[in-house]
Each structure stands twice: as structure tokens, then as C-alpha cells.
Amino acid sequence: MQRLNELKCIHSLTPLLSMRLPETPSLLCGDRLASETLAVLLRYPDGSEVEHPDGVTGLEVAKSIGPRLAEAAVAVKLNGQLLDLDRPLTEGGDFAVITLKDPEGLHILRHSSAHVLAQAVLAEFPGSTFAIGPPIEDGFYYDFGVDTPFSPEDLERIEERMHRIIEEDQPFQRVVLGRDEALEVFADHKYKVEIIESVDPSEVSGDEIVTAYKNNGFIDLCRGPHLPSTGRIPAVKLLRSSGAYWRGDENRDQLQRIYGTAWPSRAELDEYLNRLEEAEKRDHRRLGPELDLFSFPSPVGSGLAVWHPKGGMLRKLVEDRSRAMHEKYGFEFVFTPHLMKADLWRTSGHLDYYAENMYPRMVMDNDVEYQVKPMNCPGHILIYQSRTRSYRDLPLRFSELGTVYRYEKSGVVHGLLRARGFTQDDSHTFCTEDQLGDELRHQLRFVLEWQAAFGFDRSMISAELSTRPEKSVGEARQWEIAEHLLAEALDAEGVDYVVSPGEGAFYGPKIDIHVKDAIGRRWQMGTVQLDFNNPELFGLEYVSPGNVAQRPYMVHCAKAGSIERFIGILVEHYAGAFPAWLAPVQVTVAPVADRHIEYAVSVGAAFTGAGLRVEVDRSSETVGDKIRRAITQKHPVIVVVGDKDVEDGTVGLRLYGEDRDTRGVPLAEAVDRVVELAAEPA
């Protein structure tokens, strides 16, 4: 009966924007009504089960486990739901204490830091307003409505205020507001009002509840949880500011976004800042022009690169490797046009689901509409459909270095990493169900060999297996088979992976391959993806041994993905100092004086004759300047020739990264050494 009375204290509650967590009777009724006779049974991560009084807080449970754990705790997790430490627990289940060592703890730390950032900005800039401020990978941001953009001096001032708030150790307090009360509290902040009002009235009923957190008079909409207090933020730093449109809509207000980062210790913050500094040095948008590889001329347009001769050679080497490996793995080369009729994209579903990323239609040929392609898949499907296919033809593997065009908003365009026009190393395989397991492993092995060729060994590789989402096409049986076979392929190849339930595309499950670069950044490179949708949309068939029409399985696989993006990542991974086999210029020959040019040319010819890419520096600069330029251009080998070399038929040999050259190396020996150094991976 007492439990029934407690439940009667709960009003009819409806979540608003997922901001509301389940309420407890004690919070709503103002009394702790839990009886000592009632208990909650908590199951700890080690499998043990412990009974606690109903209404016990997460912090109290942590203290019962151990004082050191309680001291480190920032939140708890009950049945998968994160809760503040002071929230009473009124149900049992799986329980864990969250610390800053946990990914959820980092998320909470950065969420709390964003809250403090907003508090600092509104204090330092009276009349400003705030929008949203989520945690993101490695940090957080917050968007503000202010009269003028933030300057670097403004960021210093804001950060100083943040540190004062942290030093004051202000407690975070969770509060529950009715919808009307929330609108009144945030009446001066139009973006918060819009968030509160954005819930569809048809989706809510009763007293609508909004959760917020306050500290020292400041309040912000938030579903939580937060750290217990501001003083629990160990290390925080503001990084930069930029413009951002409200809700990402370029037709809405332009706000000012401040980015920051927060870490469990000052040492970890310093390590991260060092990584950022190193990343800036490696930025492909800077190194590309410096190394004369590519550039982004404004007359061409945003998100589109032009490739200079050295960059053209680098790209040729990558594409040649792609073609050679596709041939090795049994793919046939196809080519499809950049421009196709709009009706094709209507059949494929792109005009229904992808139109905002496609460029406008062009009307030609008596009002027939055409569009540039955002993907290569439909073209390959049409090739499959060009004649009747038998089971004897399968598996059928098509490959294309196909250039596609996708409209990306200017705010997200990022050099080669997020471009509007790029070339994909696309392949599509059509096979029977019996062939699917072998085919998936075949494709995965290809992706792994591709990564290894460019210096990403198994220790740098992990994978993510994304399974069926709530809304999907295809039969449940197809999904089950495909997901099982994808997992088997990963296991067979010994790849570490995590399963992301429900994160597959609506048309099929997939494996995404991730690599870590030289400074620890994680990049998604390589995909093996099932597609149950297009074979149905286009009515693909093959004739079975029993002379019955069957639907083939369709596998999409990209090894590099976008060639442009892949090269951008390589530039940053190697900081422009490519392995000798991949360097656009492998050897620079530097004559000491003009009288040595003739011999330098003959030396260059010897290296060129051995299949190496060579530059002879004929400039009138000093040999020191020539060497410095070659080092700056990150050429793998510098060959210096002077009087004694001319006389003895020798050279001075210096490899990139070494402080001095080896003098008096016989020319033939030098050529052999460089040929060995520049050998392409097997």
C-alpha cells in the first residue's frame, strides 16, 4: 500500500526532447518515502548482487563499495541509464559506478564543461544568449547569439571566468520544470524557448516536464547527468571560435560557436594540445600547396581541388596500385558516365532520399532531365542488367575509379577530406547466397592488404560491424545471414571489432574499417556493405541451376573510399614525407657548382634508367640551399656531386631524416641502394 501511495504522487509525466529522465517519488513529492522494508537489488559489473534500501543514492552505493571509488565517481549507470550521484535509486538492475576513466565519464566531464562555458559567456557578455552546447569527440562546443564575433582576447577572458567558476566548486543541481515554468525561466533566450516549444503537441500529454541544471543562479536546459560540482573539472581549455548557423540552417541566425576541450588531468590536456599542434603541422591543406601537390583555387569553387604535377604523380601511384590490386582480386574494370538521366536516380531512390546532396538537374534533349552522379552504384547495376546472368557467371565483380559529385554545405567542406567532387575506388559484387561468405572474406582481405600497402598494419586497424536498424528493407533472414557472415569474416581475418546494434544503413549491414594514424587519430577507411535495396528496385536476377530466376546478393566495397580523402589522410599521416616508393620525387641530384651540372645530369639519368623519379637541381644557388630545399620538399634521397665525384664516378648520398651524407659512394652502388629503398610493397 505504501508503494501504491508513492506511485500516486507521480503526476502524468511526458519526456520533452529526451531531456527528462525518469522521476522518483521522493523528488516529486518532497519526502523520502522509501521504507527500510523495501529494497533494490543491484547487479555489479563483476556479477555480484547486493541489496540496498529503496531510494539509496548512487554515491551511497559507491561508498559502500569503497571510499576510493566513491571519491572518483562522477555518475552511476543503472540499466544502461546514466544518473547523477545524488539521484535516489528506486529500482534494481545492472549497476556501475562511472569515473573519468570511463568513456561516459569523459562525456559527462565535457558536458559539464560546456555548461560552465555558457555560464561564463553570459556573465562576461551581458545581453548575449545561448543555444546548444553538446560534448563532442575530444571536447565540447557551445553556440551563442552575440553582437560581434569573439576575438582571441575574448576567449582568454571567458576561460579566466571559467576557471574562477571551477575554483568556486559550485554544485550542479538538477531541477524539474513544467513546460510553462520553463518558458518563463528562459523567456529572454529565444533559442531555448524554441527548443522547449519544438515538441509536437500531439506527441505529449499531461504535465510536460523539462529538466535543467543550475549552479550559483545560472540555469541551463539539460537532460544530464553532470559532475557533482564545477570543482570536479580537472583540466579545461578553450580552443577557437567560428560562425555556425542555428540548427545548421544557413537561412537561420548565424551564431558564434566556441570550441573547447576537457580532460581528466592536466597531463592529458597537455598531451592533447601537443597532438593538436602536431596535427596543424600536418594539415594537408597547408602541406599540399607547400609541397606543390594540389591547391584549392577560389575561381574553381569550394570543395574542389586542382592537382599539380607532383600531386598528379602521387595520385597516379595510388590509382595504379588500386587498379593492380583490383585485378589481382578478380575484379573487372567498368566505366560509367558522370552524367545520367534523372529517371535513373528516381528508380534508385536517390531523388527521394538523397536529393539535397545532389546538384540541380539539367534539362537537355527535348526537356529530358539529367543529373551528375553522386554515386556509381546505379551504373554498375545497369551493366549487370545488360544481359541475362546465369549462376555460372557469379560472382561478378565490377570495379571503377568513378568520379562523383555531392553538394556539401560550405561550412563542412574541408580540403580533400570533405570535398564536393571526388573519385571513389568503387566496386560492386553480385553473387549467390552460397558464395556470400567467401566473397565477404575476400573483400575484407582486399581492404586489409590495401591498408597494409600504405603503411597501416594490423596494430593500427579496428573495425565496426553495424547491424539492422529499426527501419530497414530486406527480409529478416537476409539480414541475419549477412550479419553472421560479416562477423565470421572479421573473426577469420583476426580483426578487432565492435558491434554497433542498429547502426547499419536501412538497405544493409556493413563493416567499416578504421585506422589510427601516426599521431593517434582515428580515420574511417574502407567499407564492406550489403545492399538489399537496389537489387529489388532494379529487379536484378540470375538463372539458378534449376532454371529459376533468383535475386543476387549485392556487395559494395571501397578500399580507399575517396581517392582524394585517402591522399589527404596519407599526407597528414606521413606529414608529407612519403615512403620512397610513393614519393612523387624520389631522388634530387644537387651539383655543388655549375661545372658539375653535366655530371649531375648523367647521374640523374642513371637513377632514371633504374625506374626512379628524379629531379636535377640546375639552379645557381649554393649546394646548401639546394639541399635545404630538397629536405623541405621531403624528397627521400638527396645525391650531391662535386669535383671528386666527377673524377671518381661517385656521389654523396643522403637519406631523408639523416643529418649528413655518405661521401664517395660508387654510382652503381648508390643506384642499387635507392632502388631497394624505393621498392613497392609486394
pLDDT (tens digit per residue) in 421-463 = 999 999 999 999 999 999 999 999 999 999 999 999 999 999 9
Query: Residue 96: which pLDDT band, with cuts at 50, 70 and 90?
Result: very high
Q: How far apart are CA 671 and CA 668, in angstroms?
A: 5
Percent of all residues in the chain with a pLDDT value above 90, rounded to a whole number: 84
- The number of beta carbons lying within 10 Å of the beta carbon of residue 423 is 21
pLDDT at 409: 84
Average pLDDT of the segment spanning 326-352 = 93
Query: Tens of pLDDT along 506-536?
Result: 999 999 999 999 998 899 999 999 999 999 9
Closest CA to 213 of 196, 228, 233, 198: 228
Burial (CB < 10 A; 0-12, 13-18, 19+), residue 661, is middle
Query: Residue 350: which pLDDT band, with cuts at 50, 70 and 90?
Result: confident
Q: What nine digits make up the cell of 429?
A: 559484387
pLDDT at 526: 92
Peptide bond preceding 22: is omega within 30 degrees of 0, i.e. cis? no
Q: How far apart are CA 195 and CA 371, in angstroms?
A: 37
Question: Boundaries of CATH 3.40.50.800 in the chain?
Answer: 587-677
The cell 533559442 sits on which residue? 191
Closest CA to 436 of 394, 477, 405, 398: 394
The pLDDT of residue 168 is above 50: yes
Choose the catalytic residue: 189, 256, 310, 377.
377
Chain center to CA of 558: 16
Domain at 310-338+373-574: CATH architecture: 2-Layer Sandwich (3.30)
Q: What residues are paired with 591 via a beta bridge?
A: 641
pLDDT at 19: 33
- The number of beta carbons lying within 10 Å of the beta carbon of residue 9 is 16
Give the chain's end-to-end CA distance (angstroms, integer): 76
Phi, psi (5° rounding) for residue 326? -60, -40
Q: How far apart are CA 428 and CA 585, in angstroms?
A: 34
* Cβ proximity of 102 and 245 under 8 Å: no
Output the 3-class SS for 249-303: CCCCCEEEEEEEEEECCHHHHHHHHHHHHHHHHHCHHHHHHHCCCEECCCCCCCC
**What's the chain's Rg over C-alpha atoms?**
31
* Cβ proximity of 630 and 617 under 8 Å: yes
Average pLDDT of the segment spanning 72-79 = 96
The pLDDT of residue 90 is above 80: yes
* Cβ proximity of 254 and 544 under 8 Å: no
Task: Sort strands 553-562 and 522-530 into parallel, antiparallel or unpaired.
Answer: antiparallel
The cell 629503398 sits on which residue? 677
Average pLDDT of the segment spanning 253-257 = 94
Choose the catalytic residue: 87, 115, 214, 556.
556
Query: Tens of pLDDT along 176-195?
Result: 998 889 999 999 999 999 99
Chain center to CA of 556: 20
Q: What residues are paired with 171 via a beta bridge?
A: 229
Q: What nine digits make up the cell of 316?
A: 597516379
| Annotated catalytic residue 556 | yes
The pLDDT of residue 235 is above 70: yes
pLDDT at 349: 87
The pLDDT of residue 26 is above 70: no
Specify the CATH number of the domain 587-677: 3.40.50.800
Query: Residue 605: which pLDDT band, with cuts at 50, 70 and 90?
Result: very high
The pLDDT of residue 198 is above 90: no
pLDDT at 366: 83
Query: Residue 29: which pLDDT band, with cuts at 50, 70 and 90?
Result: very low
The pLDDT of residue 415 is above 90: yes
Choose the catalytic residue: 406, 441, 514, 573.
406
What is the overall mean pLDDT for the chain?
91
- The number of beta carbons lying within 10 Å of the beta carbon of residue 174 is 19
For 253-277, give one letter per residue: b (16+ CB within 10 A) or e. eebbbbbbbbbbeeebbeebeeeee
Choose the catalytic residue: 420, 428, 514, 635.
428
Q: How far apart are CA 147 and CA 120, in angstroms?
A: 16
pLDDT at 331: 97
| Annotated catalytic residue 484 | no
| Annotated catalytic residue 424 | yes
Angle at 650 between CA 649 and CA 652, to 5 degrees: 155
Q: How far apart are CA 21 and CA 12, in angstroms?
A: 14
Dihedral sign, Cα of residue 32, residue 33, residue 39, residue 42: negative
Choose the catalytic residue: 426, 517, 617, 645.
426
Contacting residues for 359 by C-beta, under 8 A, at least 6 apart: 371, 372, 405, 407
Chain center to CA of 621: 45
Query: Tens of pLDDT along 546-578?
Result: 999 999 999 999 999 899 999 999 999 999 999
Question: Boundaries of CATH 3.30.930.10 in the chain?
Answer: 310-338+373-574
Closest CA to 425 of 376, 381, 490: 376
| Annotated catalytic residue 557 | no
H or E stretch covering 75: strand 73-78
Closest CA to 213 of 179, 167, 171, 178: 171
pLDDT at 323: 97
Q: What nine digits make up the cell of 632?
A: 623541405
- The number of beta carbons lying within 10 Å of the beta carbon of residue 665 is 17
Query: Residue 94: which pLDDT band, with cuts at 50, 70 and 90?
Result: very high
Q: What is the four-CA torsion angle of 86, 90, 92, 95, rounded to 10 degrees?
A: -10
Dihedral sign, Cα of residue 300, residue 305, residue 309, residue 313: negative
**3 state SS of 83:** strand
Query: Residue 5: which pLDDT band, with cuts at 50, 70 and 90?
Result: very low
Closest CA to 227 of 385, 88, 113: 113
The cell 529500482 sits on which residue? 91
- The number of beta carbons lying within 10 Å of the beta carbon of residue 151 is 10
Choose the catalytic residue: 119, 256, 371, 424.
424
pLDDT at 511: 97
Output the 3-class SS for 2-45: HHHHHHHCCCCEECCCCCCCCCCHHHHHCCCCCCCCCEEEEECC
Output the 3-class SS for 129-159: EECCCCEECCEEEEEEECCCCCCHHHHHHHH
* More reliable by pLDDT, 249 or 629: 629
The pLDDT of residue 16 is above 60: no
Q: What residues are paired with 99 via a beta bridge?
A: 73
* More reliable by pLDDT, 332 or 205: 332
Dihedral sign, Cα of residue 521, residue 525, residue 531, residue 537: positive
* More reliable by pLDDT, 36 or 640: 640
Query: Tens of pLDDT along 457-509?
Result: 999 999 999 999 999 999 999 999 999 999 999 999 999 999 999 999 999 99
| Annotated catalytic residue 510 | yes
Query: Residue 127: which pLDDT band, with cuts at 50, 70 and 90?
Result: very high
pLDDT at 22: 35
* Half-sphere exposure in the Cβ direction for 76 (13 Å, CA): 29
Chain center to CA of 17: 26
The amino acid sitting at 664 is G
User: What single string gives the DSSP state of each residue in 364-403?
Assistant: ETTTEEEEE-S-SHHHHHHHHHTS--BGGG-SEEEEEEEE
